[in-house]
Structure 1
């Protein structure tokens, strides 16, 4: 649904917050297109103006940084192609993983995302890897279409136990971190953890060795919803969390429609990820 993506007038305000105008951004797009012409190893998708504008935003409009991000985007799509297979067949409301985003942004242009396990959709043995696909597909859609500079994540561990953590493949987690660091260059303003399982702080100590110190410092462990509301106002939360938005179930129905609308994009991502890029 298009309400998930900021409107043109909002884009102008976001650009202004970076001291950028349409003129300066268009000039940088032209410059990047010239650079792309000198990089025959990059796929044709690189010259899409909307893609370049998104990459400029995610790279804080710093051209050299953006060039590196673009190269890594396609390089790591191929390197981790197994995570991008079958994304077009996903129906969010039917998946083991649950990933939804708030349809409205905060005054500071922050998008709220929610990740949890949908235990009601589990058949047989729990496999944490089945949670990855819907999260990656959701992130790819938002990264490529939502012109918001920052994301605040709510990680809901309702129903989760420490036993579930030990069923998670360490290698897969490292690959997911690689995808986040090299493809999904989204700036995370905060990670709000609710319903943490017993001994979760032990898990956080393990994560401290994997995450950057900046990202780790943005993690908040909440004991209750009142604590969550201090970081995320109720108007940006589903009713499940004492918020003023629709329920998660209703948001998932909207998100199902968004996936149908973006099916061709998700198929294209799979195709690009399976195409071995020529050497630089």
Structure 2
């Protein structure tokens, strides 16, 4: 085993005292909060909390029987729930800026081959989470809510509570956003050497079974929603296997690329 040569270490001379790291962390956290605050103020000005909630509730409201409306059970729910939606929307829209601050904090301590791995994964994970949430809102809700309303007994007046709906939507957005992170998990596991690409291919059948179970647990009780989550997860698993091959090839450390001396 060869010991690293300090003269060839690209991070040599970049070490900082612990206190400076704390100051840097504080600054990055403040920058992230400032970004969220700016977006939050903008959303309060336009379109406003009430309109944001109306937009969030549109898939459900459009599927309700004629004359039905959502209700607010809590006394302050009509005031607090739209504000919660606005805060969550501000954090969601600020996610790229927040992740950039995280990247700016950790990047100086990474080698070049590590940066080639981490930065694309951070960007890809953000886009995949957004894609999962958007897929849930535009497709799954549009298919699931009408199917659920058709299952409701005629004797039941459907009037969902606005706070219960918000909790349901957040759960679904997180479930679909995390489910769409399958390629990232696959790449990390393969790059860390926990599993090989061959093992990932052999594990395909077990993954499909597990994905089906997860889809049945986190989606509404209708087959459309379950299939709508299952198919992307299986497809993204295949994408993850392909991406793992590419990342392993292009993010190896120099020592990994060098031939081993038999002597």
> TM > 0.5 between the two?
no
Task: Specify which structure has the higher proportion of strand.
Answer: 1
What TM-score does the superposition give when structure 1 sets the normalisation length? 0.25
Q: Which has the larger radius of gyration?
A: 2
Task: Specify which structure has the higher proportion of helix.
Answer: 2
What TM-score does the superposition give when structure 2 sets the normalisation length? 0.26
